[in-house]
Copies of this chain bind each other. A is one copy, B any other.
């Protein structure tokens, strides 16, 4: 089969080719053709506009990640399924656990000079920090990622409130409390932190606005590893800037640069310049281990497609 690895993920084409061997033809394309049919059996991409989707006549669109919000599913031919792949829950849960511990331990408050002159004064005035244990964290979206976060923060002795659409969870790591999305603002005053790790959907877009951020409050921490747009951009900036929200650790952004684009700000507001925000450039899942797990999964699915056996990670079934 012909497999096209497109866009941001094109550099991973050799990795997939190595996994699939000589039976398949794997090609990289930093951009998809601007017109005419998109000729491939399998398209590996995390971004597919409606016009592109309509021109794809292949057998499978495989997103090399979890989020399918940038795939125009409705424009795809009915017979073409869409698959996604997980595996990023481990590094993302590590990123979130680190961000939580950072928030309680506040290592930036510690003096960095420990020479003979500094040591006596530093030792005499050692700052106290806080404990994560005993605090409560709300997790908006308790899927693969939320559960792995839950596993780690419960071992820290933190309480977990899962906030889900249904008010139920399907998970081995059971949260201390489960509420519906409508109850988010009710539970946040009891929470030291809110972690966003839900998909971006019409229901979650902008769901975390001023009311939620104010309920989290001036001592609260927001961690966003989902999609930026789950938090209302203007409310987030305003609440952080005037202290209604204490701190934020943000790994996802409102604007991403296209290939070759310059002078693109990650937000329309100078969120990155606020002193109470830690900004990272969408790296929470960026580990070699993630790529190994993901492309092994994608290669398995391509072999399954070739063999006519069932696909895994089907987000949209062939119709």
| Chain A interface residues toward B at CB < 8 A | 90-91, 94-95, 97-98, 101-102, 104-105, 107, 110-117, 119-120, 122-124, 126-134, 151-152, 154-157, 253, 255-257, 261-266, 270, 272-273, 279-283, 286-290
Contact = CB atoms under 8 A, between A and B. Distances in A.
B110 A101 contact: no
Nearest to A263: B116
A288 B156 contact: no
B156 A122 contact: no
B157 A90 contact: yes
Given A115-B273, A128-B288, 10 more contacts: A98-B105, A101-B101, A107-B280, A110-B283, A114-B266, A120-B262, A122-B281, A123-B282, A133-B289, A152-B156
Contacts of A98: 98, 101-102, 105, 107
B126 A265 contact: no
Nearest to A157: B90
Given A90-B131, A98-B101, A156-B152, A119 B266 contact: yes
Interface centre among A128, A257, A270, A281 (most CB of B within 10 A): A281
Contacts of A286: 126-129
A105 B129 CA distance: 22
Is chain A's binding surface mostly helix, strand, loop or mixed? Answer: loop
A147 to B, nearest CB: 12
A265 B116 contact: yes
B119 A265 contact: yes
A272 B114 contact: yes
Copies of this chain per assembly: 2
24 contacts: A91-B129, A94-B132, A94-B133, A111-B281, A115-B270, A115-B273, A116-B264, A117-B263, A119-B253, A119-B257, A120-B257, A120-B262, A120-B263, A123-B256, A123-B257, A123-B282, A124-B257, A128-B283, A129-B287, A130-B289, A131-B290, A133-B289, A151-B155, A152-B155
B120 A156 contact: no
Nearest to A91: B131
A170 to B, nearest CB: 20
Contact of A129 (B113, B157, B283): B283
A127 B281 CA distance: 9
Nearest to A288: B128
Contacts of A127: 283, 286
A95 B105 contact: yes
